[in-house]
Amino acid sequence: MTIGGLGPQGGGAASSSAGSPQRHAIVVESDVVRVRQVVRSAAVAARLSLVDQTKMVTAASELARNTLVYGGGGAVTIDIVDNGRRRGVRAVFTDSGPGIADLDLALTDGWTSGSGLGLGLSGSRRLVDEFELESSPETGTTVRVVKWSR
């Protein structure tokens, strides 16, 4: 099952990688901190404004924690993308955990299957320009987000 969606700015399909993607494992808590730092560097390199950098890093922090806590660990691939008009940062989180049974429910504010606040998915979706979520019990969960420079 997939929930997708390109944000109002669209153009996701045409975006191409503008640098070498970096892959980082998310296995222990300190990996979440490292993911934040790598996403920050990429956001600076893509010339995102300070507010947009902060939104992207915050979204990445939520998603990396989800990968660790709910997905049982996984990885993230971070790269800088270019759609011909502007640059952005893309982060793709993958895990081979149990998957999300009800994606619509998981994207509802305040709903949590665990001990969290239920803002990880729904909140990070609001912080980025593009958000795609795929999940199944066989393949685990993949979340792809992009934040574009303005």
Partner 1 sequence: MERIPVLKLGNLLLVSIQVDLEDRLALNLQDDLAERIVATGARGVLIDISALDIVDSFVGRMLSTIAAMSKLLDAETVVVGMRPAVAITLVELGLDMPGVRTALTLEHGLALLGAEVRVRRSDDTDSADRADLPGSIEEPTGPSGTAVAGTVVG
User: Which of 60/75 has CB closer to partner 1?
Assistant: 60
Task: Show the binding pattern over residues 17-36: x = contacts partner 1 (CB under 8 A), - = does not.
Answer: ------------xx-xx--x
Q: What is the largest CA-CA distance in the chain?
A: 42
Among 61, 77, 136, 149, binds partner 1 (CB under 8 A): 61
12 in helix, strand or coil? helix
Contact 2, 142 (CB under 8 A): no
Distances (CA, A) of 24 to 2, 11, 31, 38, 113: 24, 26, 8, 9, 26
Distances (CA, A) of 114 to 37, 77, 124: 26, 25, 17
Contact 103, 3 (CB under 8 A): yes
Report the nearest approach of partner 1 to the CB of residue 61 (Å): 4
The interface region with partner 1, picked from 53-61, 75-83, 95-103, 137-145 by CB under 8 A, is 53-61
117 binds partner 1, rule: CB under 8 A: yes
107 binds partner 1, rule: CB under 8 A: no
Beta-bridge mates of residue 16:
82
46 binds partner 1, rule: CB under 8 A: no
55 binds partner 1, rule: CB under 8 A: yes
- Residues binding partner 1 (CB under 8 A): 29-30, 32-33, 36-37, 40, 50-51, 53-55, 57-58, 61-62, 65, 109, 116-117, 119-120, 122-124, 126-127
